[in-house]
Structure 1
Amino acid sequence: MRIINKSLIFVSLLAAPFVQAEGIDHIKETGELQICANPEQKPFSWKNGRPEGFQIDVAKVLADKLDVALEVSWIFRKRHAKLTGCDMYVGVAKLDGDTQYVKKSDPFARMEFKLVTAKGIKPISDLKDLKGLTVGVPGGSIASHALRGKGIELAISYRDEASRLNAVVDGTIDAAIVTQLSTSWHQKSYGSQFNVYDAESLLNKRLNYDYVLGLRRNDQQSREKFNQILSEIKADGSIDKVFDKYGI
C-alpha cells in the first residue's frame, strides 16, 4: 500500500495546482483507490507507522473488492483534499444530501453518540446530574452547545475520541461524548470499564446519523458502483469483520 507522506501534503499546499478527483473508471485505470483521512482521529484514522483505523480498514475492503491498491492522503482539514488526488472520504454524515463537492453513497454504518462516565461516577439520569462534572466534547458540536447552555463544565481540547476516553479512564475528566464505535473499540482494546448512556436521549438533541462514503466530484456511475460494492461487502460478511474488530 503506497502512502502519501503528511509532510508532502503540506508542502503541496504552497504551490500545488488544483487536482480533480476522478471516477470509477479512473480508479480502475490507475489501479489505485485514493482516500483522504485525518492522521490524528483515533479510532477512525490515524497515522502511526502504518495506516490504521475504522475508515482505513473499510477502505482496504473497498480496494480489495476493486482489486486495486489503497493510497491514503493524510489531511487535517477537508478543504485540503482539493490539493490531493483523493477519490473519497470513508465516512461522512448522511444528514443532508449531496453537496457541490461530494456525492454520498448508501449508508454502511450508523454512528450513535454515547455519554460515557468513569466507573464510580454516580448514575446519570438527567443533565442536572452532570453539574459539577467535567465533560469532554468536540468544540463547536451540537453536544457542546447543549451542555454549555446548561452551565456544565466542558473540556474541548482533546483532538479525538480516543483521547477523551483515555482522559475518562485516567480521571482527568469525568465524562465524555463519543460514538459507540469509539466506546466499543476502547473496551475491546483496553478492557476499559465505563458507564454508557444514550447521549441523544439525554441531551434531547439529534446527534446520531447514518455513515456513508463521501465521493469527491464523482459521477452517478461511480456512486452506483460503490453502492453495489457496499451491498456486496454487507452480504459476504467483509464489513462485519471490520465491525467485529472494533467491537460493534
Structure 2
Amino acid sequence: MTSALSSDVASGPRRLARYAASLALLMLWNAPADARSLEAVIERGALTLCASSNALPFASKSGPVPGFQIELGEKIAEQLGVKLTREWVISAIQYRRADCDLVLDVIARKDTPPAGGVRTSRPYHRSGVVLAVRGDSQASSLAGLGPDQRVGVPVGSVVSMTLAKGGAATSPFAFEDDIVAALANREIEAAAVTPMTVGWFNQQHADKPLRLIPAFGDDQDLNWNIAAGLLRPDDQLRARVDAAIETLLADGTIARIYARYGIELRVPQ
C-alpha cells in the first residue's frame, strides 16, 4: 500500500496538469472578470493565455518544447501586434482568479454555446474520439475486437457509456495518457481516446506507434470542432482573433504547429 501511495503522490503533478488541461474551460466559465476590449489589449501590449504548466502536448512552463497551445497563442498575439503573456494554472481556484483573455482548445458546438461570458472564435480544428490499437493488431474496426478484448476508456465519459451500451468490454482510466500507455503495454487491446493523445504518444514512441481507427465518425456526440475561447471580449477583439486564425490556417501555420507534436490538423465542420 505504501508503495502504491508513493507512486500516486509522485505522479500527482503530472496527473493534475493533464486534468487541468482537459477541464480548464469548465473552470474558467465561472471566472469573475470585466469585459476585455481590443483597445485594452492593444494599449496593454499583451494578450494573456491561460494554460497548464505541465501538460504536454498542450502546454509546458519548462523544457525543450512549449506545447502547441503556447505556440498557437504566440502566433495569434503576433497577428494582433502584441506579445503573449501566460497565466499558469492547475486548479479551479487559480482559473477563477486568473486574468485570462484567451484559452485554447474550446469545444465549439452550435447548439451549446459556452457559459460565463466566454465567446468562441471561428473553429480551427476538428477533434473527437478514435479507436487506437497497437501496430500489430489485426483489428480494422470496433467489431473486429473479440468479446473479451477490452477497450480503455476515460472514466465516466460519453464514449464509455456508448461502448457499454453496445456490449463492448471496457476498462476505465482517469487520464488518456494512462490509457495509451496501458495499450502499448498490452494491458488492453484498444483505446478510445482523442487523436491528439495518440499523435503525441507516437511522436514519443516511434519504435511502437499506435494505429488509429475512425470507429466513431458517425456519432455527433463523439466529434466536435475546436476553437479559441475569449473571456468576455468586445466584438472588435473577437473579430481580430477570428481574422488571425483565418490567416494562420490559410498560410499553414496551425498545421505546422500541430505537426511538431504529431497531430494532423483536421478541417472543422
TM-score range normalised by the length of the shorter chain: 0.7 to 0.9
Cα distance change of structure 1 residues 173 and 126 upon mapping to structure 2, 3 Å threshold: closer
Question: Given the two structures, how large is their TM-score scaled by the length of structure 2?
Answer: 0.73
Query: Which sections of structure 2, spanning at least 5 residues, go unmatched?
Result: 1-16, 18-30, 265-269
Structure 2 residue 120 is the aligned partner of structure 1 residue 104? yes
Unaligned runs of 5+ in 1: 1-5, 7-16
Q: Which amino acid aligns with 1:223?
A: R
| Equivalent residue number for residue 76 of structure 2 | 62
Instruction: Check the 8 A contact 1:20/1:82 in 2, yes or no.
Output: no
Q: Does residue 155 in structure 1 map to residue 155 in structure 2? A: no
Question: What is the CA distance between 1:19 and its match in structure 2?
Answer: 4.2
Where does 1:13-162 land on structure 2 (aligned, <5 Å)? Answer: 18-20=32-34, 22-49=36-63, 52-76=66-90, 80-95=94-109, 96-127=112-143, 129=145, 131-149=147-165, 150=167, 152-158=169-175, 161-162=176-177
1:79-137 C-alpha deviation (Å, 9 max, x unpaired): 74330101121111112334332101101111142110123334153457253233332
Go from structure 1 to structure 2 and tell me whether the alpha carbon gap of 1:51 and 1:219 turns closer, same or farther (over 3 Å shift): farther
Distance across 2 between alignment mates of 1:123 and 1:225 = 46
**Distance 1:163-1:39 versus aligned 2 partners, 3 A rule:** farther
Residue 206 of structure 1 aligns to a residue whose secondary structure is: helix
CA distance in 1, matches of 2:105, 2:47: 15
Q: Distance in 1 between matches of 2:103 and 2:58?
A: 11
CA–CA separation in structure 1 for the residues paired with 2:134 and 2:255: 29
Work out the number of aligned pairs and report it.
230
In 2, distance between residues paired with 1:201 and 1:130? 21
Q: Which residue does 1:10 correspond to in 2?
A: none
In structure 1, C-alpha distance between the alignment counterparts of 2:159 and 2:61, rounded to whole Å: 27
Relative to 1, partners in 2 of residues 1:217 and 1:83: Cα closer, same or farther, differing over 3 Å? same
Aligned partner of 2:10 in structure 1 is none
Pair 174,75 (structure 1): closer, same or farther in 2 beyond 3 Å: farther
> Cα 1:168–1:48, aligned 2, differ >3 Å: closer, same or farther?
farther
The answer to whether residue 227 in structure 2 is matched with residue 223 in structure 1 is no
Q: Is the 8 A contact 2:142 2:215 kept in 1?
A: no
Identity %: 26
What amino acid is aligned across from residue 48 of structure 2 in structure 1? Q
